[in-house]
Structure 1
């Protein structure tokens, strides 16, 4: 039986490949695939965002090798950064609540 962390790692891999397998290079996200992943899988993070070029900005920030695609390593950086931000927010909330 796998652990919760192992299940989450498996989920990250499956989610990435669910979207990367739709166009062109099946091991990288195109801009369209990234946009679909973000809007489908990170709806709470993107709700209220009105920036029409947000996906372009995210793509530029993630695309460290400048191939106009996001590979799994680059994708994991996004997930890790968002997780850190969530943890920081949670810690601040706990402090405000007196925990």
Structure 2
């Protein structure tokens, strides 16, 4: 039986490939695939954002090699950054409750 962390890693891999296989290069997310992934998998995050250019900005930030696609490594950077931000928020909330 896999551990929670192994399950989380498996979920990240499967989620990436679920969206990356919809068009073009099946190992990279196009802008459309990234937008769909964000809308369906990170809807709470997107619902708090008011910037209509958000997907374009995320794509530019993630696309380290500037090929207008997001590969798995670039995707993991996004997930890690969002996870760190969520943890920072969680820690701040715990500190406020403790004081």
Q: Could you tell me which runs of 5 or more consecutive residues in structure 2 were left unpaired when the two chains were aligned.
A: none
1:81 and 1:50 mapped to 2: Cα distance?
A: 19
Report SS of the residue matched to 2:52.
coil
Q: Distance in 2 between matches of 1:7 and 1:49?
A: 29
- Equivalent in the alignment of 2:86: 86
- TM-score, normalization: structure 1? 0.97
* Structure 1 segments of 4+ aligned residues over 6 angstroms from their partners: none
Alignment of 1:47-62 (within 5 A): 47-62=47-62
What SS does structure 2 have at the residue aligned with 1:77? helix
TM-score when normalising by structure 2: 0.97
Structure 2: how far apart are the matches of 1:67 and 1:61?
Answer: 12
Aligned residues: 99
1:48 is displaced (CA, Å) by: 3.0
Structure 1: where are the runs of 5+ without partners?
none
**Structure 2 counterpart of 1:26:** 26
Which secondary structure state, in structure 2, belongs to the residue aligned with residue 19 of structure 1? Answer: helix
Q: Tell me the equivalent position of 1:70.
A: 70
Alignment root-mean-square deviation, CA: 0.9
Query: C-alpha separation between the residues in 2 aligned to 1:52 and 1:44?
Result: 16
